[in-house]
Amino acid sequence: MTRRAVVTGASTGIGAAAVRLLREHGWDVVAVARRQERLAALAAETGCDFVVADLTVAEDVDRLAAEVAAGGPLTTLVNNAGGARGLATVEAGSVEDWRWMFEANVIATKRVTSALLPLLRDGAEATGSADIVTVTSIAGHIAYEGGSGYNAAKFAEHALVAVLRLELAGEPIRVIEVAPGLVKTEEFSLNRFGGDQARADAVYADVPEPLTAEDIAESIVGAVELPAHVNLDLITIKPVAQAAPSKLVKGKIAVKR
């Protein structure tokens, strides 16, 4: 049977790229995000199905689960929705920004995983295996100045994934974490800086070949299309220009002698 995936945060960036690549590989895909017009455009482009939902709202997640269940077995969940707000210190950071980051990155991932896990078990029985892929960040593994709330949220999401893998041990459900470094997308830094385009552009200025959303989509699809007994627990993916969150090369990359 055709494999079927749900991809959250699918209206832009990594989520949209993952939807496109999964469709190219012949998957049935349900794209999930808040913005109906973007999802409708993605559906017209790729032939995916879509559900408009705010994953920080419990009733929306319940409705998502019901609509996905009505479409048949589910074999893969890609938890991609999330984001960052600000670069403030722990002392000065906005509690509201922190609350939003925990809701969007941690609580939403928990809600969607809990709601769709019964459907993934159905899919695993039908096909022999299922997958839960969660897109976190290297910010969930290495703290950096300016990270504060985003570090805290992504460290929590990383822990959620690690515990889930232990809890599902013995079931034919792979738990995969994809932790990207610097990815140049349309909206991530723009949202982080409250719509300040110049500040967002400066993040990537003079960085030789930052990652693209398509690079991360390749890692997601590659992981879920491996033989069912092979689990990539953690994929850490950074551009060559980035050695660590706080070590980013600007300008030309060249051999040093």
At 137-155, the pLDDT tens digits run 999 999 999 999 999 999 9
| pLDDT recorded at residue 240 | 95
Each residue of 83-133: pLDDT tens digit? 999 989 999 999 999 999 999 999 999 999 999 999 999 999 999 999 999
| pLDDT recorded at residue 251 | 92
Residue whose structure tokens are 């994934």: 161
What b/e sequence results for 228-255 when a residue is b if at least 16 CB atoms lie within 10 Å of its CB, and e otherwise?
eeebbebbeebbebbeebeebeeeeeee
Q: Hey, what are 163's tokens?
A: 């515990």
| pLDDT recorded at residue 212 | 95
Would the CA dihedral through 99, 102, 105, 109 be positive or negative?
negative
H/E run at residue 63: helix 58-70
| pLDDT recorded at residue 122 | 97
In angstroms, the CA 149 to CA 112 distance is 22
| pLDDT recorded at residue 108 | 98
Task: Flag whether pLDDT at 20 surpasses 90.
Answer: yes
Whether residue 133 contacts residue 223, with contact meaning beta carbons closer than 8 Å, is answered with: yes
pLDDT band at 61 (very low <50, low <70, confident <90, very high): very high
| pLDDT recorded at residue 167 | 98
Q: Which residues contact 200 (CB under 8 A, 6 or more apart)?
A: 189, 190, 192, 193
Q: Which residues are catalytic?
A: 150
Average pLDDT over residues 35-58: 97
Task: Flag whether pLDDT at 255 surpasses 80.
Answer: yes
